[in-house]
Amino acid sequence: MSGTSYLLDTSALLAHFFDEPGADIVQGIWASKGPKPAISAVSIAELRGRLRDEGTDEDEAVRAADDYFGELTTCLSVDRSVAEMAWQLRALTSRRLPFVDALIAATARAAGAILVHKDPHMSRIPTEVVKQLVLP
């Protein structure tokens, strides 16, 4: 994938949506002159579900997700090589790495992008394998 320098994990999108710590960093990535940040396709389902779980109205959740996935980001597919990389990432971590997060991290790795997230368990992935920007 040429030109994308960041891949936003679902936790980064949620931090922005709820104006949590790190929201300003995500906003700065969007405001930069560089290419649009990417997301993994699995974040589409995860974000809508997490917004609903947090009590966001269904229509607002769909609208917010569509905004994030439309104008603001480039969506990257998960193919066999990304799925196999996710398995390898799970094997590299000393503790449990949720499968969805492994797929998202593997998408960043395949794209050569910096993974932007707030999840402590994602920080267990060696940074020499997946470059990371951990939000506060």
Residue 87 lies in a domain: yes
Q: Let me know if residue 53 belongs to a domain.
A: yes
CA pair distance 76, 56, nearest whole angstrom: 26
Q: Which of 112, 49, 118 is nearest to 85 (CA)?
A: 112
Q: What is the pLDDT of residue 4?
A: 60
Is residue 60, in this structure, part of any structural domain at all? Answer: yes
Instruction: Identify the pLDDT of residue 3.
Output: 55
Residue 19 lies in a domain: yes
Q: Would residue 129 count as lying in a domain? A: yes
* Element at 66 (helix H, strand E): helix 58-70
Residue 128 has pLDDT above 70, yes or no: yes
**Residue 79's domain is classified under what CATH number?**
3.40.50.1010
In this prediction, residues 40-50 reach a mean pLDDT of: 89
Q: Give the pLDDT mean for 41-46.
A: 89
Residue 23 falls inside a structural domain: yes
Q: Which domain holds residue 19?
A: 6-134
Q: Is residue 126 part of a domain?
A: yes
User: What stretches of the chain adopt beta strand conformation (E)?
Assistant: 6-8, 38-40, 74-76, 114-117, 132-134
What span, in angstroms and rounded, lies between the C-alpha atoms of 8 and 23?
12
Tens of pLDDT, residues 65-110: 888 888 778 899 999 999 999 999 999 887 789 999 999 999 999 9
Calpha distance 21→14 (Å, rounded):
10
Residue 1: inside a domain: no
Number of domains composing the chain: 1
Give the number of other Cβ atoms within 10 Å of residue 31's Cβ.
Answer: 9
34: pLDDT strictly greater than 90: no
